[in-house]
Amino acid sequence: MATLCLDVSLFIAPHHQLRRQSEKKLLVLGPKRSCVGRRRRLSNVSMKSKNRFNNIVAVATREDLMRAAVSAANNGVSKFNVKATVTIKNKLKPDLSERLVRSLDGIGDLFGKNVIIELVSVDVDPKTKSAKISSEGRIKEWFNKSGEKVSYTVEFTVDANFGLPGVLLVTNNHQQEFFLENVTVEGFHCGPIHFPCNSWVQSHKHHPQKRVFFFNKPYLPGETPEGLKALREEELRELRGTGTGERKLSDRIYDFDVYNDLGNPDKGFDYIRPTLGGGEIKYPRRCRTGRPPCVTDESCESRLEKPLPMYVPRDEQFEEPKRRTFLFGRFKGLLRNIVPITIGRLAPNNIDIKGFSEFDKLYKRCIIRDSSLKDIFPFRKTPVEETGPGLFKFDLPKIVTKDKFGWFRDDEFARQAIAGVNPVSIERVEVFPPVSKLDPQTYGPSVNSALREDHILPFLNGLSVQQALDGNKLFMLDYHDIYLPFVDRINALDGHKTYATRTIFFLSDADTLKPIAIELSLSPGAPSSRAKRVVTPASDATSNWIWQMAKVHVAANDAGAHQLVYHWLRTHACVEPFIIAAHRQLSAMHPVYKLLDPHMRYTLEINALARQSLISNTGVIDTCFTPGRYHMEISAAAYNDWRFDMDELPSDLIRRGMAVDDPAEPHGLKLLIEDYPFANDGLLVWSAIENWVKTYVNHYYHDPATVLNDSELQAWYCEAVSVGHADIKDAEWWPKLDSPENLSKVLTILIWLASALHAALNFGQYPYGGYLPNRPPLMRRLIPDENDAEYANFVADPEKYFLMSLPSKLQISKYMAVVDSLSTHSPDEEYLGQRPHAATWTGDKEMVEAFFKFAADVSRVEKEIEKRNLDPSLRNRCGAGVLPYELLAPISEPGVTCRGIPNSSSI
């Protein structure tokens, strides 16, 4: 256990209160040692020097410093030396320009252009009423050390009445930025004092303000020591900026803006995309960059295309291990698309998958050996193949490692609705036929369901429809209202075809689901024979293929809704305003900031990269998903129905009819599908997070008044809602931040969204979607009707028609490369229950111990999940051809593992 600081009053302890360790050893205070106990006078301190010694605050923990303090007391000296260990994290692979600048900085060091650190006391000088500051400490021999992490020793001189150092002021007189990880100061009575920095320090030449770093002791705003109040406020003003000007990559400014950078009107009509937020289309706010407007439309921000970097505050950018992993994923994706791009350009008629065996080629061998490419390039091997064929080959997705044909089975199709990559959309059917929430005056009779009792009655095991409803036996994936307003526009796009779908499932006595009907809806303008169609499980060969086509259309709808609504909107876009506001309104000393800090890591960076490469006008979702150019409008339409309070897991389960209140159950809920892997594991994780947050919040906030009187906390929540979610700020469902209970609820939801829910929705993308027939993101053909000209071709070769309905080779490889990268854990990932310097992230001993208890709870969750995945009675997670459900298993190795809960939405 790390040594922790005591109350400031103990630093001015008379010498007779000091505990003698031994005749030659000095006082060292730790969690198991105290100033209280057996006391003895120090024999080498004269009676004449007692009073002077009583005023000495800086009592060293090292023998040499202690002797200096005693000598000073005897001789009336009022200044003492203390030391700090400064840990710097170096780049492992600096580029040529960085190495050159480093060399120049080495020369500058010889002429006094060092990195300078000063200590600021928690106390103010009673005469000047200003903060007490130590002498300047200089980091010397900066360039004589190398390695990923380097530690330096810095010495300071402080006055005898200096008090406790609470702030570091850092000045970087080098030309180049550096990453300051942490600083530990020794020489004070309380023991080591820790400063968790974890920040890039820019050159004084470009950013002249001294960098401010606070020690690890948390303070509510009203409890801030006098010496730190001004710096606390000044640091927050620095982070807020002025709201004007274009941001530089080295800036640390956090601000809000609307989504007006997804299109590029300067390139023409096809590249125009609407602005999201602040107008007719409601949406959360994103991090402001301040880039100049487009030439043809000043309301749109000009775009930066990759590889040019998008602005996020400097400390939000990926650290080197994460960046290497991400860039390597991009590089692999580029290589894996060389062949499909070449084929698409040189042989435009050869873009369709010809048979299921072609999917196998993506994994079994290097795709550069594709026979179609050999026809274009008549040579036996390519230079790239000889240097690294593995880079061209996709790993085998987990979904086909258990059962290659499992995706074709109805039970697996249904199982993935509760144990796949999108287990949060399924809901209980409360009325039959289902009722739309769309306005019938706008959409006409198309809002009415075509489902009838006779469609599903043969599949209810002898129950009537009402008995099935009363027995909680009917469940549904309802993508009708999400897609219907966009069906006409999507189907008008070249190579994009969709329905608004509803899928009905029946719950068997074995607690497994079976799909029993799929409703396919087109717009009111479609021919009456095709506007509404209900498909049921097969009774012959032809209807079997139609049934399979219908399931794949549902899977494509699910892939789009998953990506745009449940994944991107809920765990990325809706969380971003809370992160921006936290940096703008919560001091690094604030207890809530310390709690949220690991759950904000990398989110702004990955969201900026998404705006650049995924959700933009030429992004992967635009080109490879069914909604095409309308994908973000679908996401915005879903935002109208989003509720922050319903993102609480128990509330979400009840809202979807998947659970009912039951105080007798462990989590106060009874699941209506007992073997619902996401919900079962999710409630374990939710409970662990909730208990940890309640313990933390109740430690600092004892009653409603302490919450209401916390100016920084109220400013954070108010800004996150009123500015970050300005378009829905007046909604009545926003929780009131007026009590410890409500504060705990808000913080638990945020941590749940950023960690567990994001993990459940993200890290299964390649394991489940990497095999396209299981979960295609795009469909290019509708199911033919008997009156269609295509129907004869379908009957003649249904497999060919099925494959032609899937994405093209180029779309497949682009999509697979992206979801492979998005499903990859980086080597520097921090998982739930982990955080750097776990014993010193806060100076509050009780909360350090509470965090270790939380980590133990998380470990128990992992063991319970492992146990469940070996239980043969749980047929939705154990059995022949069934994937174990591990997406909420907290810890993972690097790579694509289909498990692991990182602390934040970091990919």
The catalytic residue among 182, 762, 869, 903 is: 762
Distance CA 477, CA 468 (A): 17
Distance CA 817, CA 328 (A): 11
What is the rounded average pLDDT of the residues 208-236?
A: 97
Across 295-324, b (16+ Cβ under 10 Å) vs e yields eebeebbebbeeeeebbbbbbbbbbbebeb
Tell me the three state secondary structure of residue 276.
strand
- The strand pairing partners of 168, in sequence order, are 119, 213
Q: Which of 215, 244, 266 is the last residue of a domain?
A: 215
Q: Is the pLDDT of residue 51 over 70?
A: no
pLDDT tens for 581-627 read 999 999 999 999 999 999 999 999 999 999 999 999 989 999 999 99
What is the rounded average pLDDT of the residues 662-670?
A: 94
pLDDT tens for 713-722 read 999 999 999 9
Distance CA 29, CA 659 (A): 52
* Strand pairing report for 115-124 and 513-521: unpaired
- Asked, for residue 245, whether it belongs to a domain, the answer is no
Q: Which two tokens stand for residue 851?
A: 């965090």
Q: Which helix (H) or strand (E) holds 701?
A: none
351 is catalytic: no
What residue has token string 């209980």? 428
Distance CA 391, CA 874 (A): 38
Quick check: 216 and 152 in contact, CB under 8 A?
no
Q: Is 7 left (phi over 0), alpha (psi -120 to 50) or beta?
A: beta
Domain with residue 191: its CATH number is 2.60.60.20
In the chain, the amino acid numbered 199 is S
Q: Which two tokens stand for residue 873?
A: 């009675």
Q: Is the pLDDT of residue 91 over 90?
A: no
Name which residue leads in pLDDT, 145 or 392.
Answer: 145
Tell me the three state secondary structure of residue 301.
strand
Q: Is the pLDDT of residue 106 over 90?
A: no
Distance CA 445, CA 58 (A): 81
Cα 465-469-471 angle, rounded to 5 deg: 115
pLDDT tens for 724-773 read 999 999 999 999 999 999 999 999 999 999 999 999 999 999 999 999 99
- Work out how many domains the chain is built from and give that number: 2
Least confident range of 41-45, 340-344, 482-486:
41-45
The catalytic residue among 599, 667, 758, 825 is: 758
Q: Is the pLDDT of residue 330 over 80?
A: no
Highest mean pLDDT among 1-5, 176-180, 575-579: 575-579
Q: Is 869 left (phi over 0), alpha (psi -120 to 50) or beta?
A: alpha
pLDDT tens for 518-551 read 999 998 766 555 789 999 998 899 999 999 999 9
Give residue 347's pLDDT.
53
Confidence of residue 50 (pLDDT cuts 50, 70, 90): very low
572 is catalytic: yes
Q: Is the pLDDT of residue 664 over 90?
A: yes
- Asked, for residue 200, whether it belongs to a domain, the answer is yes
- Asked, for residue 176, whether it belongs to a domain, the answer is yes
Distance CA 486, CA 219 (A): 51
Give residue 329's pLDDT.
75
Confidence of residue 326 (pLDDT cuts 50, 70, 90): confident
- Asked, for residue 617, whether it belongs to a domain, the answer is no
Name which residue leads in pLDDT, 704 or 130.
Answer: 704
Tell me the three state secondary structure of residue 201.
strand
What is the rounded average pLDDT of the residues 303-310?
A: 90
Q: Is the pLDDT of residue 387 over 50?
A: no
User: In whole angstroms, how far apart are CA 25 and each of 12, 28, 63, 190, 498?
Assistant: 20, 9, 7, 16, 78
599 is catalytic: no
Give residue 531's pLDDT.
84
DSSP state of 111: T
Q: Is the pLDDT of residue 474 over 70?
A: yes
The catalytic residue among 572, 583, 599, 667 is: 572
Tell me the three state secondary structure of residue 184.
strand
Q: Is the previous residue joined to 433 through a cis bond, with omega within 30 degrees of 0?
A: yes
Q: Is the pLDDT of residue 371 over 90?
A: no
590 is catalytic: no
Q: Is 623 left (phi over 0), alpha (psi -120 to 50) or beta?
A: alpha
What is the rounded average pLDDT of the residues 284-289?
A: 98
User: In whole angstroms, how far apart are CA 327 and each of 337, 359, 399, 744, 895?
Assistant: 15, 26, 26, 37, 14
- Asked, for residue 129, whether it belongs to a domain, the answer is yes
Distance CA 199, CA 233 (A): 19
Q: Is the pLDDT of residue 278 over 50?
A: yes
Domain with residue 530: its CATH number is 3.10.450.60
- Asked, for residue 492, whether it belongs to a domain, the answer is yes
DSSP state of 594: H
pLDDT tens for 872-894 read 999 999 999 999 999 999 999 99
Confidence of residue 369 (pLDDT cuts 50, 70, 90): very low
Q: Which of 527, 559, 591 is the last residue of a domain?
A: 559
Give residue 414's pLDDT.
98
- Asked, for residue 471, whether it belongs to a domain, the answer is yes
Q: Which of 215, 239, 271 is the last residue of a domain?
A: 215
Range of the domain at 183: 77-215
Distance CA 752, CA 549 (A): 36
Tell me the three state secondary structure of residue 784.
coil
- Asked, for residue 464, whether it belongs to a domain, the answer is yes
Q: Which two tokens stand for residue 856?
A: 């133990």
Tell me the three state secondary structure of residue 661.
strand
Q: Is 163 left (phi over 0), alpha (psi -120 to 50) or beta?
A: left
The catalytic residue among 204, 567, 590, 825 is: 567
User: In whole angstroms, how far apart are CA 831 and each of 213, 759, 765, 855, 886?
Assistant: 25, 10, 19, 10, 14
Confidence of residue 800 (pLDDT cuts 50, 70, 90): very high
Q: Is the pLDDT of residue 427 over 90?
A: yes
pLDDT tens for 555-568 read 999 999 999 999 99
Confidence of residue 75 (pLDDT cuts 50, 70, 90): low
426 is catalytic: no
pLDDT tens for 494-503 read 999 999 999 9
Quick check: 761 and 571 in contact, CB under 8 A?
yes
For a pLDDT cut of 90, what percent of the chain falls above it?
73
Cα 314-166-253 angle, rounded to 5 deg: 20
Averaged pLDDT of the chain: 87
Give residue 539's pLDDT.
87
Closest Cα to residue 402, out of 899, 878, 852, 907?
Answer: 878
- The strand pairing partners of 502, in sequence order, are 478, 519
Q: Please, which residues have CB within 8 angstroms of residue 797's CB and are 6 or more apart in sequence?
A: none
| Other beta carbons less than 10 A from residue 529's beta carbon | 11
In the chain, the amino acid numbered 294 is C
> Within the chain, how many helices (H) and strands (E) appear?
34, 20
Give residue 325's pLDDT.
82
Give residue 98's pLDDT.
80
The catalytic residue among 426, 749, 812, 907 is: 907
* Strand pairing report for 824-825 and 895-896: antiparallel
Q: Which two tokens stand for residue 891?
A: 């810890």
Handedness of CA 699, 703, 708, 709 (dihedral sign): negative
Least confident range of 352-356, 681-685, 835-839:
352-356
